[in-house]
Amino acid sequence: MKTVRVVVVGAGVIGFSTAVCVAEALPFCSVTVLAEKFSPDTTSDGAAGILFAAQFPDISVERQRRWFKDSFDHLRAIAQSQQSPEAGVMMSSGYQIFKDVPADPKPYWSDLVIGFRLMTDRELERFPGYKFGQAFTTVKCECSSYLPWLEKRFRKAGGKVQQRKVSSLHDLSDSYDLIINCSGLGSRTLTDDPQVDDGDTRSILERCSRLEPSLSRARVLSKWVGLRPGRRNPRLERELVQPRGRKVPVVHNYGHGGWGVTLAWGSALDALGLVRQCLHEMPPQAKL
């Protein structure tokens, strides 16, 4: 079989997770990651990276559970390995607190994390004004370390990276046999605003200090701002585009919003399945 030229557009956590999955599972594919920005300048770099999630309205809970479980199991294995410090992945325990009782007190992922339980009244006394809370142990992923670790793993699998701005997916159709769109949102370009709002920074610190008074005298080491490239539901599907008369399959995997790190590996495995379907349906002349 002739080498299939695959390009992944986007170098955030969704893009590199998808690129690694494809490069490792399909060695006959030559995979390139194309992006204008790489770590430490991606939206993913500023993510808190704590695995929990909200529920998307129009995607089956079963599919969302699969994404969450695959991601959690993947990152938990790293956290419990010798690669944990380099990858920036670790286990973390904490609370999620609410001013009002949520509609679903036990989210769909409650049995997929470790030790999920509802907080006691005594625990909630520590947080005045909050009526409800959940306690659990999950995974924390520092993307400023995890993204370079993923890129290193991608290169080890034979992947290539290229830094350039992509104006249109159609522009890639002459150079690649299959396109994977993980472009997310170029926040700096769209907002034309490289600043951090000092008022927002103070507001965040004040709110956190009300919950945890020991933070009131904390020294701010750095500031970071970014946009969450989200939509009502993530787009994870395939289509066939035909620019310049040549049919090229495109797999879309973007729009995870604030849950990109949480769902990255699971949705990457789903995208890999779509890539396999595209390859299976390619006409013989495209693969010979």
List the beta bridge partners of residue 33. Answer: 8, 161
- Structure confidence at residue 49 (pLDDT): 85
Exposed e or buried b per residue across 12-34, where buried means at least 16 C-beta atoms within 10 angstroms of its C-beta: bbbbbbbbbbbbbebeebbbbbb
User: Structure tokens of 105?
Assistant: 């007190």
Tens digits of residue pLDDT in 221-261: 454 444 444 568 999 999 998 877 788 999 999 999 889 99
- Structure confidence at residue 198 (pLDDT): 47
- Identify the band that residue 151 occupies on the pLDDT scale cut at 50, 70 and 90: very high
Mean pLDDT of the chain: 85
Tens digits of residue pLDDT in 131-150: 999 999 999 999 999 999 99
User: Structure tokens of 163?
Assistant: 């830094």
- Structure confidence at residue 196 (pLDDT): 75
- Structure confidence at residue 192 (pLDDT): 29
- Annotated binding residues for D-dopa: 258
Residue at token pair 């380099």? 86
pLDDT above 80 (res 112): yes
- Annotated binding residues: 43-44, 166, 228, 257-262
Q: CA-CA distance, 162 to 45, in Å (whole number)?
A: 19
pLDDT above 70 (res 213): no
- Annotated binding residues for D-serine: 228
For the chain, what is the HEC assignment?
Answer: CCCEEEEEECCCHHHHHHHHHHHHHCCCEEEEEEECCCCCCCHHHHCCCECCCCCCCCCCHHHHHHHHHHHHHHHHHHHCCCCHHHHCEEEEEEEEEECCCCCCCCCCCCCCCEEEEECCHHHHCCCCCCCEEEEEEEEEECHHHHHHHHHHHHHHCCCEEEECCCCCHHHHCCCCCEEEECCCCCHHHHHCCCCCCHHHHHHHHHHHHHHCHHHHHCCCCCCCCCCCCEEEEEEEEEEEECHHHCCEEEEEEEEEHHHHHHHHHHHHHHHHHHHHHHHHHCCHHHHC
- Please indicate whether residue 129 or residue 244 has the higher confidence score (pLDDT): 129
Tens digits of residue pLDDT in 57-79: 999 999 999 999 999 999 999 99
- Structure confidence at residue 15 (pLDDT): 96
Report the range of poorest mean pLDDT among 14-18, 85-89, 168-172. 168-172
pLDDT above 70 (res 81): yes
For 106-153, what is the HEC assignment?
Answer: CCCCCCCCEEEEECCHHHHCCCCCCCEEEEEEEEEECHHHHHHHHHHH
- Structure confidence at residue 241 (pLDDT): 87
- Structure confidence at residue 202 (pLDDT): 57
pTM above the 0.75 mark?
Answer: yes
Of all residues in the chain, the percent with pLDDT exceeding 90 is 67
Domains and CATH numbers, the chain: 4-192+227-281 (3.40.50.720)
pLDDT above 70 (res 188): no
| Mean pLDDT computed over 35-49 | 70
pLDDT above 70 (res 189): no
- Annotated binding residues for FAD: 43-44, 166, 257-262
Of all residues in the chain, the percent with pLDDT exceeding 70 is 78
Report residue 183: phi and psi, to 5°: -75, -25
- Structure confidence at residue 133 (pLDDT): 98
Report the range of poorest mean pLDDT among 124-133, 206-215, 260-269. 206-215
